[in-house]
């Protein structure tokens, strides 16, 4: 029986994002290839007599509005009893950055409490709870590659993606998702039936597929934050094999074969030293199990 747990809430990257329509309730429908990086926020949980919530990091508040606390309250309401927990969240992901940081934190909270208190909730039950917290939370529960459709809560898990390093960069400018969707000028026609990406056999095929799909929110995001285009160009100039914007931005990413990420990050920082920049790699299904935070792989370093 666990009395304490440490979990990583990995960064969610929308490698592609096609907007396929807008519903009567105002929500947009989409198709998106989602992956996760071996880097994220860190959540420490311990059984306690009373709940206490502390955050190490800037940009978010340790109150009932935080998705971590909302996840706790949602789960308590679902099972009908209190789960007093000492919670410490270390925020390493930038806020309002298109990396699903709050959603990843909430998903880690649901997973962690399920294990900490031996609740035996199934993944399907946790997905229902996660959907009440936000469209991205169900995808973050497994932290493995997936194909996201509908409003984002419909996720089909994929067996794996080709191994790849990834460099994540952000100009340190918040970009609320709602603002980007408001600026969206157009979208694709809805697909005639649900689709899945083809089997992606290798790194080159991954880049080709993402290039074909692209990100429909990129132009709208650039209109609000022109620095996004500068980040993308700096990643290209640094040698990334493919560059794109994650989700609604303003975080951009560069993909490259394994062991190439650290050098790309060094080159990027030389061009844009004031940006947030992290070198990491894409994780596969099962890589985000509950346990200690990810250890840095040799040759792939850090955070800024």
Q: State which H helix or E strand residue 91 sits in.
A: none
Environment class of residue 171 by beta-carbon count within 10 Å: exposed (0-12), middle (13-18) or buried (19+)?
buried
CA distance 152 to 136: 6
Is residue 136 annotated as part of the catalytic site, yes or no? yes
List 12, 41, 216, 275, catalytic entry: 12
Chain mean position to CA 297: 20
Chain mean position to CA 93: 9
Burial 75-110 (b: 16+ CB within 10 A, else e): bbebeeeebebbbbbbbbbbbbbbbbbbbbbbbbbb
Q: Given the DSSP bridges, would you call strands 52-56 and 85-90 parallel, antiparallel or unpaired?
A: parallel
Is residue 92 annotated as part of the catalytic site, yes or no? no
List 41, 92, 105, 136, catalytic entry: 136
| Residues carrying an active site annotation | 12, 136
């Amino acid at each position: 029986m666990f009395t304490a747990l440490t979990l990583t809430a990995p960064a969610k990257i929308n490698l592609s994002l096609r907007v396929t329509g807008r519903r009567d309730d105002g929500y947009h429908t989409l198709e998106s290839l989602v992956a996760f990086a071996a880097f994220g926020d860190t959540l420490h949980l311990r059984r306690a007599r009373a709940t206490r919530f502390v955050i190490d990091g800037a940009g978010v508040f340790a109150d009932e509005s935080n998705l971590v606390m909302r996840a706790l309250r949602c789960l308590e309401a679902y099972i009908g009893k209190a789960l007093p927990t000492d919670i410490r969240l270390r925020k390493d992901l930038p806020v309002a950055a298109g990396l699903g940081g709050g959603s990843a934190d909430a998903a880690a909270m649901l997973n962690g409490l399920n294990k900490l208190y031996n609740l035996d909730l199934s993944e399907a039950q946790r997905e229902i709870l996660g959907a009440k917290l936000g469209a991205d939370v169900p995808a973050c529960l497994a932290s493995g590659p997936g194909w996201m459709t509908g409003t984002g809560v419909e996720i089909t898990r994929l067996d794996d993606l080709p191994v790849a390093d990834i460099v994540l960069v952000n100009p340190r400018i918040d970009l609320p998702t709602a603002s980007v969707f408001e600026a969206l000028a157009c979208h694709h026609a809805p697909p005639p039936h649900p689709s899945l990406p083809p089997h992606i056999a290798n790194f080159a095929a991954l880049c080709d597929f993402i290039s074909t799909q692209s990100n429909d929110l990129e132009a709208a995001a650039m209109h609000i934050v022109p620095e996004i285009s500068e980040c993308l160009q700096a990643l290209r100039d640094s040698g990334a094999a493919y560059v794109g914007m994650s989700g609604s931005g303003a975080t951009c990413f560069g993909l490259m074969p394994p062991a190439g990420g650290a050098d790309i990050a060094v080159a990027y920082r030389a061009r844009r030293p004031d940006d947030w920049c992290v070198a990491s790699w894409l994780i596969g299904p099962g890589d985000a199990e509950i346990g200690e935070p990810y250890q840095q792989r040799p040759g792939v370093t850090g955070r800024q």
